[in-house]
Amino acid sequence: MLKNITIGQYIPGDTFIHRLDPRVKIILSIIFIISLFIITKFSGYVFISLFILGSIYISKIPLGYIFKGLKPILVILILTVGLNIFFTPGGILLASIGPLKITSNGVRLALFMGLRLIFLIVGTSLLTLTTSPIALTDGIESLLNPFRRIGMPAHELAMMMTIALRFIPTLLEETDKIMKAQIARGADFESGNLMKRAKNLIPLLVPLFISAFRRADELAVAMEARCYRGGFNRTKLKQLKVSIIDYIAILVTSILVMILIWNRFWPW
């Protein structure tokens, strides 16, 4: 399960998606998330599917690798679909299981919310998979720079967010090593019901927290040894510039949003 989490991982490449300005990618990712909430018909997901599949094809990220990231949220997905199926009233009664009733409105809403959650995870995963941590830091810092006038530490916030994303795969790898070490000593993480498995994971927390604090201390010492003093008078090797490919990406995304708005209000 831990190996299926793709958040914070980066796959190097030189594709159209990889070469986009990180600021543009962050803004377009936010627009994409908002556009998912514009959709009120299943036909809108057809356009979203074409957009996502096209982006995945252009980025040359393996399709199986992207959908592998859906496995960790499988429980949340099943819970979301189940709650909507059994607790949404109205429509035609399709089946009845004791006090629980399955209606046509419930099935429709369950499928709708399930697809929205899937596209949300897959779409946002492309941001971290195609953007290096350094570029992501620069992009977030640049977008937060206007808020410096009100005292917001833009560089420090961007650095913290990026380090948090970067260390997710590292902590997952550390958790996997601790689990394997404890399994070799007789620990059981597989058998039993869900509550028992959750209780069996508690012994992992202490060594994991110790490892996390140790890594944080080592990172702090390394940054101090390199005279890191935040964003004050900091220069950058690569200056962010919006190019023609960024305008193309903005145009394509804008067309998608307009199509979704048209689809929402078109009477069919």
Q: pLDDT per residue over 201-252, tens digit each?
A: 777 778 888 888 888 888 888 888 877 776 666 666 677 888 899 999 999 9
- Cα(66)–Cα(126) distance, rounded to whole angstroms? 8
Segment 8-56, tens digit of pLDDT? 678 888 899 999 998 999 999 999 999 998 888 888 899 999 999 999 9
**Residues facing 103 on adjacent strands:** 93
Segment 103-112, tens digit of pLDDT? 888 888 888 8
For residue 258, the SS3 value is helix
Segment 147-165, tens digit of pLDDT? 878 877 777 787 787 777 7
pLDDT at 142: 83
Given a contact cutoff of 8 angstroms between Cβ atoms, the answer to whether 83 and 113 are in contact is no
End-to-end CA distance of the chain: 41
pLDDT at 80: 85
- Cα(120)–Cα(70) distance, rounded to whole angstroms? 10
- Average pLDDT of the chain? 82
Domain ranges of the chain: 1-131+238-268, 156-234
Segment 68-87, tens digit of pLDDT? 777 777 778 888 888 888 88
Residue type, 230: G
Side-chain-side CA neighbours of residue 60 (13 Å): 8
Residue type, 252: V
Given a contact cutoff of 8 angstroms between Cβ atoms, the answer to whether 126 and 22 are in contact is no
Torsion, Cα of 205, 209, 211, 212 (10° steps): 130
Q: For residue 116, what are the CA distances in angstroms to 44, 52, 160, 171?
A: 11, 13, 29, 28
- Cα(123)–Cα(168) distance, rounded to whole angstroms? 19
Given a contact cutoff of 8 angstroms between Cβ atoms, the answer to whether 96 and 26 are in contact is no
Q: For residue 95, what are the CA distances in angstroms to 101, 106, 111?
A: 6, 11, 17
In this structure, how many other beta carbons lie within 10 angstroms of the beta carbon of residue 192? Answer: 12
Q: At what angle do helices 154-184 and 133-144 cross, to 10 degrees?
A: 140
Q: What pTM, to 2 d.p., does this model score? A: 0.76
Given a contact cutoff of 8 angstroms between Cβ atoms, the answer to whether 61 and 130 are in contact is yes
